[in-house]
Amino acid sequence: GETAEVTASPEANDAEYLSPVSIGGQTLNLDFDTGSADLWVFSTELPTSETSGHTTFDPSKSSTFKKYDGATWKISYGDGSGASGDVGFDNVAIGGATATSQAVELATSVSSQFVSDQANDGLLGLAFSNINTVSPTKQKTWFETIKSQLENPLFTADLEKDASGTYDFGNIDSSKYTGDIHYAPVDKSGGFWEFNSKSYSIGGTKSSCTTCSPAIADTGTSLLLVDDDVAKAYYAQVDGSKNDSTQGGYVYPCSSNLPDFGIAIGDYIAVLKGSDLTYANVDSSTCFGGIQSNANSGMQIFGDVMFKQYFAVFDAGNTQFGVASK
Ligand SMILES: CN(C)c1ccc(C(=O)NN)cc1
């Protein structure tokens, strides 16, 4: 069975991580996203006014590209961004592993957030294919296409703070973590890497929350979006913090000593160091938190703030998600 490894390089503020992907011999930098299941790319079918700074996939230059007549796709993300277009098939290689006849979704329209994010040439979904948006027939993700060829049906994420990390497919590299991997069973029926998260800790004080929303492991989200009352309880411990709608969330004096925050991954509490829970500066003295409210959306979203502190295993063979210290 095959294994593959690819670099994950951070953009400003670790807002997202991009990895090189070869499609029909053309290399684009894609955002690997465990919170969605579409592989879509900036393409020459977009208006050139929307492709400045991006690498675009040109199907006419790939000898292996096949159009999927009549198929379309349209996706919206939690932050209100989105994209849409048409579909083809091509050979897609990541870190030396090639999925042949992989569905590649070509953008004909993208929202302003994607136009302005010039480092991002598209997304590679790593959630479950039941939420793929291709119509009239859903298509598989790259991981599901290649899974049977892999040594083990799993992939891992090692994202780093302000430094390159890796995604590995088919194996767990024991040099990338310390101690045990703590697994939670995944409910994939909603298409996400979803698990229970019924407790948390703030500054070492544990709270159970039987009413807490389930959580998803989402490498495509920058922050940690927790239930509103949990976010409130966290920032109640931060002097001078406030939920500032102008800034879009909780801000506080950058001089604050943020408390550690423990998140439940099933029965295991992964403690996130407070010293790594600031996301960005708003100005020279005001900081924007890595922990924010999910506005009671009914889902907690554990994004890159978690992956920067914990090595993660997405195990499709056993339908489980695991974390380990690193
Ligand atoms: C605008 N961009 C680059 C986005 C990238 C990813 C996402 C997302 O919610 N992934 N789960 C949203 C937006």
Neighbours of 302 (CB within 10 A): 29
**Distance between Cα 113 and ligand 1 center (Å):** 9
Q: 21 alpha carbon to ligand 1 midpoint, in Å?
A: 18
Whether residue 144 contacts residue 305, with contact meaning beta carbons closer than 8 Å, is answered with no
What's the pLDDT tens digit per position in 234-257? 999 999 999 999 999 999 999 999
Please give the positions annotated as active site: 33, 218
Q: Using 50, 70 and 90 to split pLDDT, how confident is the model at 318? A: very high
- Cβ atoms 285, 275 nearer than 8 A: no
pLDDT of residue 50: 97
What residue has token string 């009239």?
136
Distance of CA 193 to the CA centre of its chain: 11
Question: What average pLDDT score do residues 104-117 get?
Answer: 98
pLDDT at residue 115, as a whole number: 98
- For the chain, how are helix, strand and coil distributed in percent, rounded to 5? 15, 50, 40
Per-residue confidence band for 95, with pLDDT thresholds at 50, 70 and 90:
very high
Residue nearest atom 7 of ligand 1, based on CA coordinates: 220
Rg (CA), the chain: 20
List the one residue out of 256, 247, 322 whose CA is nearest residue 292: 247
Q: State the pLDDT at residue 76.
A: 98
CA distances to 125, 154, 269, 311 from 318, in Å:
20, 9, 21, 18
Prior bond of 136 cis (ω within 30°): yes
User: Helix or strand or coil: residue 307?
Assistant: helix
Render pLDDT for 261-280 as a digit per residue (tens, 0 to 9): 999 999 999 999 999 999 99
Pocket test for ligand 1, best of 14, 16, 133 (most atoms within 8 A of CB): 16
Provide the 8-state DSSP code for 113.
Answer: H
Q: Tell me, what's the pLDDT at 4?
A: 98
The size of the chain, in residues, is 326
Q: Give the per-residue pLDDT at 107.
A: 98
Per-residue pLDDT tens digits for 70-81? 999 999 999 999
The Å distance, Cα 225 to ligand 1 centre, comes to 14
Measured distance CA(307)–CA(321) in Å, rounded: 12
Strands 286-289 vs 278-281: parallel, antiparallel or unpaired: antiparallel
Q: Name the strands in the sheet holding 205-208, side by side, starting at the edge strand that comes first in the sequence.
A: 205-208, 199-202, 261-265, 268-272
Average pLDDT over residues 43-64: 98
Q: Identify the band that residue 213 occupies on the pLDDT scale cut at 50, 70 and 90.
A: very high
| Residue 33, ligand 1, Cβ within 6 A | yes
**Ligand 1 contact via 13 beta carbon (within 6 Å):** no
Instruction: Write the burial class of residue 123 (CB in 10 Å: 0-12 exposed, 13-18 middle, 19+ buried).
Output: buried
DSSP per position, 142-207: HHHHHGGGBSSSEEEEEEETTEEEEEEES---GGG-EEEEEEEE-B-TTSS-EE---EEEETTEEE
What integer pLDDT is reported at residue 83 of this predicted model?
98
What pLDDT, on a 0 to 100 scale, did the predictor assign at position 301? 98
Which atom of ligand 1 lies closest to the CA of 219? 11
On whether ipTM exceeds 0.85, the answer is yes
